[in-house]
Chains A and B, each alone.
Chain A
Amino acid sequence: MSAPLLEVADLQVWFDLEDGGELHAVQGVNVSLEPGERLGLVGESGCGKTTTALAIMGLLPPNASVSGSILLDGDDILAGGEEAMRPHRWVDIAIVFQGAMNALNPVYTIGRQIVEALELHNRANGTTARARTAELLEAVGIPAGRAQRYPHELSGGMRQRAAIAMALACNPKVLIADEPTTALDVMVQAQILELLDALCRDFGLALILVTHDLPVVAQLCNRCAVMYAGEIVERGPLEAIYHTPGHPYSRMLFAASPDLAGLDDPVYSIHGAPPRLDRPIDGCPFRPRCDSAFDACSVRPRLEQLAADHDAACHLNSGVLA
């Protein structure tokens, strides 16, 4: 097997809180990404998905402390601090956020913002930069003539496309998309997902799709990592996680999304809420909400291999019952 493009190992993130406490947002995340692979990072709000994404980008706020390693093509970009991260940010790894309005500067035209990104990273200047901008806009489905438009003159879907064009300015190898379609209408969502699909196919881009919407992941990604309470509780190929889930949380998340194929299936909610991360967690973090918890769950389970490339952190798999 080829070496992974991106390898995150034992990633930990703490936030210092104003009251002097600490919030352990990411608790030992291990995840790897092959070139051209599409990984879905799923879970409820507050499970550490976005914090993981921001840590990979080196964009965490100043009150965060990070440990672990993030290997890009074998080099640790986390150990060297900002100095080591900067040459790779936007160049090798880029990110698109949920509200594209926040990623775009409202007082500049979208064309100018992409030109600026190209010039800042010494990718192109002047006429070449403008030609490249036109190319990028066309690649994401915006007619090049609209480069002179301001963000507020574009619809939500078009703004998201412009944000994607800007993220692609330096030909990154990895694109992180954080809830890229959550604020959009169904048809526009489908257009953006089709675009991401085409970009991965045509440019060999590796994708990390951060979302709480499992059906979107099921349609676009080939692998999936399910996060709960700051850690990955299951990871593997999507088919395996949907058809033979190794963690009750994954199974319950799928059962919570209504589906057109099963009109008469009951739709279940998961009672309660994820645990607070500003205090230590005793035992399995999902235990209070789990429908299959038993004695062993008072000890926190670790990720264990269920099959090749399919791991889950649940005592139900460990043969204790058998």
Chain B
Amino acid sequence: MSAEPTLLEVEDLVVRYPIHRGLVGSATRQPRRNVHAVEGVSLSLQRGEMLALVGESGCGKTTTAQAVLRLVDPVSGSIRFDGRNLVPLGPRELRPLRRRIQVVYQDPYESLDPRFRVRTAVEEPLLIHGLGGSKADRAARVHEALSRVELSPPELFLDRYPHELSGGQRQRVAIAAALVLEPDVLVADEPVSMLDVSVRAGVLNVLDGLRRDGLAILMITHDLSTAARFAQRIAVMYLGRIVEEGSAASVVRNPQHPYTKALLSVVPRRDPRDRRRPQILQGETPDAVAIPTGCRFHPRCPIAEERCAVEDPALARPVSAEAGHQAACLLLPLQT
């Protein structure tokens, strides 16, 4: 274990969204029901590391990120950031910490105010947090943030409006507006999925550069090839749980969980000669209201046995996996 303390440590996070029963439902005293968005997720993130949370829509990856940003309240669990648990903190105590955990969303067309020039959009977070000192100091910070996202020369972009920018440039502006606060953690929620393929790599390379400079990045994505190429570690989520976790290379080259294997098998390959039979799971991620008993993946699992419907597997290191690589499957022989 490294001597440096973990920057962000999430333990046993549980987030549920109550479902409104409606007037008839409450009158007839129907049971309260919840969407079990996140059910016991633990993860950690170091400085200079990118962790990719991967999974299908509805698996809880965005809710996990929102809990880390303290935009939703967890039911239980802890989120330790730089040694401090964020969960019990109120808005006032959270405020100075929010500067240090920033977010970039999927759609740069929605996240930038069309009436703000680039200069204003990137400067605004400083004003909100009462940072940056004099006007000249703020201008210098804005300038620096734009250079860090490789919008160069920054002078060329300062006075432009979002509609005058391409999708890739807008996303860089959104990243700059997060960077200007000099955060320790950046949550990137599907940062390139709305962008044209030709510019995706540019934005991902910018994120990669920031990570090398020490930023910790939690990337939410459904694209395994991107996660495999840019993240150091991958956590695969299914129905509110992490079902496999490990170094990116290990998870991709030596997947253990049947869900990860299926996900990897359906990623299209560039080489037309490299056609393999994808292992297609039927149906879609089940409803997070009624979680299946036992292993939550068993109804779609190609190798499920009877006990999978009864026992709920925990993350553990399988025999054939390297250290730090864990999977939650009853059928995997474990390291003793």
Taking beta carbons and an 8 Å cutoff, which residues of A are in contact with B?
44-45, 155, 157, 185-191, 193-194, 212-216, 218-219, 238-239, 242-243, 252-254, 256-261, 263, 265, 267-271, 273
Give the CA-CA distance A254 to B268 in the complex, in Å: 12
Interface string of B182-217 (1 = CB under 8 A from A): 000000000000001111111111000000000000
Is B271's CB within 8 Å of the partner chain A?
yes
Interface string of B46-70 (1 = CB under 8 A from A): 0000000000110000000000000
Is B163's CB within 8 Å of the partner chain A?
no
Give the CA-CA distance A261 to B166 in the complex, in Å: 30
A-B residue pairs in contact (CB < 8 Å), sample of 18: A44-B197, A45-B196, A186-B223, A186-B263, A186-B267, A187-B284, A193-B268, A194-B278, A213-B197, A215-B268, A218-B268, A239-B272, A242-B270, A258-B201, A260-B252, A260-B264, A260-B269, A273-B166
Q: Which stretch in B141-149, B225-233, B307-315 binds the other chain? A: B225-233
Is B99's CB within 8 Å of the partner chain A?
no
Q: By the criterion CB–CB under 8 Å, are B199 and A269 in contact?
A: yes
Residues on B with C-beta less than 8 A from A271 are 202
Q: By the criterion CB–CB under 8 Å, are A194 and B275 in contact?
A: no
Indicate which residue in A185, A187, A273 contacts B262 across the interface (CB closer than 8 Å). A187
The closest CB in chain B to the CB of A265 belongs to B229
Q: By the criterion CB–CB under 8 Å, are A257 and B270 in contact?
A: yes
Is B16's CB within 8 Å of the partner chain A?
no
Is B128's CB within 8 Å of the partner chain A?
no
The total of chain B residues at the interface (CB under 8 A) is 44
Taking beta carbons and an 8 Å cutoff, which residues of B are in contact with A?
56-57, 166, 168, 196-205, 222-226, 228-230, 248-249, 252-253, 262-264, 266-275, 278, 280-282, 284
Please judge, given known A-B contacts A190-B278, A194-B278, whether A256 and B197 are in contact too, CB under 8 Å: yes
Give the CA-CA distance A284 to B226 in the complex, in Å: 32
Give the CA-CA distance A156 to B47 in the complex, in Å: 38
Indicate which residue in A155, A239, A253 contacts B273 across the interface (CB closer than 8 Å). A239
Q: By the criterion CB–CB under 8 Å, are B56 and A269 in contact?
A: no
Known interface pairs A215-B267, A239-B272, A258-B225; 16 further A-B residue pairs with C-beta atoms within 8 A, sorted by A's residue number: A44-B198, A185-B284, A186-B224, A186-B266, A187-B263, A187-B281, A191-B280, A213-B197, A215-B268, A218-B272, A239-B273, A257-B270, A261-B270, A265-B229, A269-B199, A270-B199
The closest CB in chain B to the CB of A271 belongs to B202
Q: By the criterion CB–CB under 8 Å, are A260 and B202 in contact?
A: no
Q: By the criterion CB–CB under 8 Å, are B198 and A242 in contact?
A: no
Q: By the criterion CB–CB under 8 Å, are B270 and A214 in contact?
A: yes
Q: By the criterion CB–CB under 8 Å, are A260 and B225 in contact?
A: yes
- Distance in angstroms from B207 CB to nearest chain A CB is 12
Give the CA-CA distance A295 to B253 in the complex, in Å: 45
The closest CB in chain B to the CB of A189 belongs to B266
